[in-house]
Amino acid sequence: RWQFVTASDPSAAVDTRDLREITPEVLLEQVKEAVNKRGAYAFRGLSRAFRAMDDRGDGNLDREDFKYGLRDVGVDLTDEEFDMVMDAFDRDGNGLISLTEFLAALRGEMSAARREVVAHAFAKLDADCSGRVTIDDLKMRYNVEQHPGYSEGKEDQAYEEFLSNWDVQDRDGVVTAAEFNQYYGDVG
């Protein structure tokens, strides 16, 4: 948008605009800001939305779905800006964006302190020290008596529901440290 600024004295006419060169990195920051405005679970929502658009189920989005997904989360790029982002993530030029790579670039890395807290939480849940968290581990560490399904005799369902929060990659009822880290990386 245009803004005209005038001054009665030429020495007072100072350009205070922050004109940065538009690069894929600058655009990625704009996308991050738009996603962060949606709250702590925005990355999880973006991830779910993109995965729902992945009609082929191969972890990739085509150009139109990717553009629609960005607009859906409040990122409205010009065609030129979108082409720049697309080119940055479409490394082989096949017209597809890897969801995993895009979300990882968008999310960034967890700080060392946060990784340590997440590792400690995972170790606490991994009651049998197998390097995996299962329903059996949760039964030793988590009380589901307050869950609405508990009184209906659906105790295992309550544990499955709780475990499914972290079982984000292959939905096999087993949570690995990588899945646990991915979940907490996604929740800001």
One digit per residue, the tens of pLDDT, for the chain of length 188 reads 677 767 788 777 777 777 767 888 888 888 888 777 776 667 777 777 787 888 888 888 888 888 888 888 778 888 888 888 888 888 778 888 887 778 777 777 788 898 999 999 999 999 999 999 999 998 898 888 877 766 677 788 888 888 888 877 777 889 999 888 888 876 65
Look at residue 119 in the predicted model and tell me its pLDDT. 94
**Contact in structure between 55 and 63 (CB atoms under 8 Å):** no
Map residue 176 onto helix, strand or coil. strand
Give the separation between CA 53 and CA 48, rounded to whole angstroms.
Answer: 9
Q: Name which of 82, 99, 113 is nearest 46 in CA terms.
A: 99
Give the separation between CA 115 and CA 22, rounded to whole angstroms.
Answer: 32
**Contact in structure between 127 and 137 (CB atoms under 8 Å):** yes
Sign of the CA dihedral running 184, 185, 187, 188: positive
**Is the model's pTM score more than 0.75?**
no
Beta carbons within 8 Å of 92's beta carbon, 6+ residues apart = none
For helices 177-186 and 112-125, give the axis angle rounded to 10 degrees: 130
pLDDT in tens, 67-117: 888 888 778 888 888 888 888 888 778 888 887 778 777 777 788 898 999
